[in-house]
Chain A
Amino acid sequence: MSAWLLGAALALLAEPEAPYAGRELVVMVDEKSFESWSVLEQIARDFEAAHPGLVVRVIDQGGAVGQQDKSRFMLTGDLPLDVTRIDVTEFGAFHAQGALIDIDAHLRALPGFDEANYLDVLDGFRAADGHLFGLPSTFTPYVMYFNRDLLARAGLEPPQPNWTWDDLLAVARATTRDTDGDGRIDQWGISLTQWLQAVVPWIWQAGGDVLDPTLSRSTIGEPAALEALRFLRRLLHEERVASFDATFENQYSQGLFQAGRCAFYGPVGYWETYRFKYLTEFEWDVAPLPRGKHAATAIAMTGYVVPRTSREPALAAAFVAELSGPKYQYTLAEIGNGVPAWKAAATSESFLDPRRAPRSENVFLDVLPEARFLPSLANWRKIEALCQSELQGALLSETYDVAEAARRMQEKTDAFLAGEARRANLPLLPRFALEACFALAVLGALAAWIVRRSREPRRGFASDARGALTLLAPWAVGFLCLFVGPAAVSFALSFCAWSPLESIERVRFAGFENWFRLASDDTFHTSLVATATYAFASVPLGLALALWLAWLLRRESTLAVCVRTIVYLPAILSPVIVAATWRFLLDPDRGFVNHVLGLVGIAGPAWTRSEPWIVPSFVLMSLWSVGAQMLVFLAALQALDPTLEEAARVDGAGPWARFRHVVLPQLSPVLLFNLVLGLVGGFQIFAQAYVLTGGGPGDASRFLVLYLYETGFRHLDMGYASTLAWVLFAILGCFCWVLVKTSKNWVHYAARSRG
Chain B
Amino acid sequence: MSARSWNLAALAVAGALFALPFVFLLAVSLAPEGRGLAEPLAALRDPHFENYRLALERMGGFGRLFANTLFVTVVSIVGQCLTCSLAGFALARISFRGRDVLFACVLATMMLPEQVTAIPRFLLFRELGLVDGFGPLVLPTILGGAPFFVFLFRQYFLSLPPELDEAARLDGAGPWRIYWSIALPLAKPMLATVAIFTFLGAWNDFWTPLVYLYSDENRTLTLALAGFQRSFNVAVEHMLAASAVVLAPCVLVYFVAQKVFLRGVRVAASKH
Residues of A at the B interface (CB closer than 8 Å) are: 26, 30, 32-35, 57, 59-60, 62-66, 69-70, 73-74, 76-79, 252, 254, 271, 274-275, 277-278, 335-337, 434, 438, 449, 452-454, 456-461, 463-465, 467-472, 474-475, 477-479, 481-483, 485-487, 489-490, 493, 500, 504, 549, 552-553, 559-560, 562-563, 565-570, 572-574, 576-578, 580-582, 584-585, 590, 592, 624, 631-636, 638-639, 669-670, 672-673, 677, 680, 684, 686, 705, 708-709, 712, 718, 721-722, 725-726, 728-729, 732-733, 736, 749-750, 753-755
Inter-chain contact B111/A635, CB cutoff 8 Å? no
- Residue on B nearest A488 in the bound complex, by CB: B120
Inter-chain contact B119/A500, CB cutoff 8 Å? yes
- Residue on B nearest A32 in the bound complex, by CB: B232
Q: Which one, B25, B90, B142, contacts A468 given CB within 8 A?
A: B90
Inter-chain contact A708/B113, CB cutoff 8 Å? yes
The docked-state distance in angstroms from the alpha carbon of A504 to that of B255 is: 47
25 contacts between A and B (CB under 8 A): A59-B216, A63-B229, A63-B231, A64-B229, A274-B232, A337-B233, A456-B97, A459-B96, A468-B96, A478-B144, A482-B139, A483-B117, A486-B120, A486-B124, A487-B112, A500-B119, A552-B7, A562-B15, A565-B255, A573-B204, A576-B229, A580-B243, A633-B269, A635-B269, A636-B266
Inter-chain contact A574/B18, CB cutoff 8 Å? no
Inter-chain contact A76/B83, CB cutoff 8 Å? no
Inter-chain contact A33/B98, CB cutoff 8 Å? no
Contacts of A636 in B (CB 8 A): 266, 269-270
B230 at the interface (CB under 8 A from A): yes
Contacts of A335 in B (CB 8 A): 233
Inter-chain contact B270/A639, CB cutoff 8 Å? yes
Contacts of A718 in B (CB 8 A): 119
B14 at the interface (CB under 8 A from A): yes
Give B78-95 interface residues, CB cut-off 8 Å to A: 82-84, 86-87, 89-91, 94-95
Inter-chain contact B144/A475, CB cutoff 8 Å? yes
The docked-state distance in angstroms from the alpha carbon of A519 to that of B120 is: 27
The docked-state distance in angstroms from the alpha carbon of A493 to that of B142 is: 28
B108 at the interface (CB under 8 A from A): yes
Q: Which one, B21, B121, B176, B229, contacts A471 given CB within 8 A?
A: B176
Kindly provide the distance from the CB of B108 to the nearest chain A CB, expressed in whole angstroms: 7
Kindly provide the distance from the CB of A582 to the nearest chain B CB, expressed in whole angstroms: 7
B45 at the interface (CB under 8 A from A): no
Contacts of A33 in B (CB 8 A): 231-234
The docked-state distance in angstroms from the alpha carbon of A669 to that of B155 is: 11
The docked-state distance in angstroms from the alpha carbon of A552 to that of B8 is: 9
Q: Which one, B102, B112, B207, contacts A725 given CB within 8 A?
A: B112
B181 at the interface (CB under 8 A from A): no
Inter-chain contact A635/B96, CB cutoff 8 Å? no
Known contacts A271-B232, A482-B145, A585-B24; A680/B111 CB under 8 A: yes
B22 at the interface (CB under 8 A from A): yes
Inter-chain contact B115/A686, CB cutoff 8 Å? yes
Known contacts A465-B97, A574-B204, A581-B21; A552/B272 CB under 8 A: no
Interface string of B144-176 (1 = CB under 8 A from A): 110010100000001100100000010000111
Inter-chain contact B123/A570, CB cutoff 8 Å? no
The docked-state distance in angstroms from the alpha carbon of A672 to that of B206 is: 31
B62 at the interface (CB under 8 A from A): no
Known contacts A65-B230, A563-B14; A475/B84 CB under 8 A: yes
- Residue on A nearest B16 in the bound complex, by CB: A566
- Residue on B nearest A337 in the bound complex, by CB: B232
Kindly provide the distance from the CB of A687 to the nearest chain B CB, expressed in whole angstroms: 9
Inter-chain contact B18/A570, CB cutoff 8 Å? yes
Kindly provide the distance from the CB of A282 to the nearest chain B CB, expressed in whole angstroms: 15
Inter-chain contact B113/A478, CB cutoff 8 Å? no
Inter-chain contact A79/B131, CB cutoff 8 Å? yes
Kindly provide the distance from the CB of A498 to the nearest chain B CB, expressed in whole angstroms: 9
Kindly provide the distance from the CB of B200 to the nearest chain A CB, expressed in whole angstroms: 5
Kindly provide the distance from the CB of A268 to the nearest chain B CB, expressed in whole angstroms: 14
- Residue on B nearest A666 in the bound complex, by CB: B270
Inter-chain contact A725/B119, CB cutoff 8 Å? no
Known contacts A569-B22, A680-B111; A750/B96 CB under 8 A: no
The docked-state distance in angstroms from the alpha carbon of A500 to that of B118 is: 12
Inter-chain contact A624/B120, CB cutoff 8 Å? no
Inter-chain contact A635/B226, CB cutoff 8 Å? no
- Residue on A nearest B8 in the bound complex, by CB: A559
Contacts of B109 in A (CB 8 A): 479, 483
Give B97-111 interface residues, CB cut-off 8 Å to A: 97-99, 101-102, 105-111
Q: Which one, B18, B83, B169, contacts A567 given CB within 8 A?
A: B18
Inter-chain contact A463/B174, CB cutoff 8 Å? yes
Contacts of B38 in A (CB 8 A): 590
4 A-B pairs closest in CB distance: A63-B230, A478-B143, A467-B175, A635-B266
Inter-chain contact B211/A73, CB cutoff 8 Å? yes
Inter-chain contact A66/B206, CB cutoff 8 Å? yes
Known: A670-B272, A686-B115, A753-B272. 9 other contacts (CB 8 A): A78-B126, A463-B174, A464-B95, A464-B96, A471-B94, A478-B143, A478-B144, A631-B262, A635-B269
Inter-chain contact B11/A475, CB cutoff 8 Å? no
Kindly provide the distance from the CB of B190 to the nearest chain A CB, expressed in whole angstroms: 12
Kindly provide the distance from the CB of A469 to the nearest chain B CB, expressed in whole angstroms: 7
Inter-chain contact B97/A459, CB cutoff 8 Å? yes
Contacts of B255 in A (CB 8 A): 565
Contacts of A465 in B (CB 8 A): 94, 96-97
Inter-chain contact A563/B15, CB cutoff 8 Å? yes
Inter-chain contact A572/B123, CB cutoff 8 Å? no
Contacts of A278 in B (CB 8 A): 34
Known contacts A722-B116, A736-B107; A468/B11 CB under 8 A: no
Known contacts A563-B14, A624-B18; A475/B143 CB under 8 A: yes
Inter-chain contact B14/A567, CB cutoff 8 Å? yes
Known contacts A471-B179, A572-B251; A62/B210 CB under 8 A: yes
The docked-state distance in angstroms from the alpha carbon of A44 to that of B86 is: 50
The docked-state distance in angstroms from the alpha carbon of A736 to that of B255 is: 34
Inter-chain contact B145/A478, CB cutoff 8 Å? yes
Inter-chain contact A725/B116, CB cutoff 8 Å? yes
- Residue on B nearest A704 in the bound complex, by CB: B113
The docked-state distance in angstroms from the alpha carbon of A592 to that of B215 is: 41
Inter-chain contact B115/A705, CB cutoff 8 Å? yes
- Residue on B nearest A500 in the bound complex, by CB: B119
B223 at the interface (CB under 8 A from A): yes
Kindly provide the distance from the CB of B130 to the nearest chain A CB, expressed in whole angstroms: 11
B76 at the interface (CB under 8 A from A): no
The docked-state distance in angstroms from the alpha carbon of A30 to that of B230 is: 9
Contacts of A565 in B (CB 8 A): 254-255, 258
Give the one of A335, A479, A500, A754 with max B CB within 10 A: A479
B214 at the interface (CB under 8 A from A): yes
Inter-chain contact A576/B206, CB cutoff 8 Å? yes
Kindly provide the distance from the CB of A266 to the nearest chain B CB, expressed in whole angstroms: 19
Contacts of B72 in A (CB 8 A): none
Kindly provide the distance from the CB of A283 to the nearest chain B CB, expressed in whole angstroms: 17
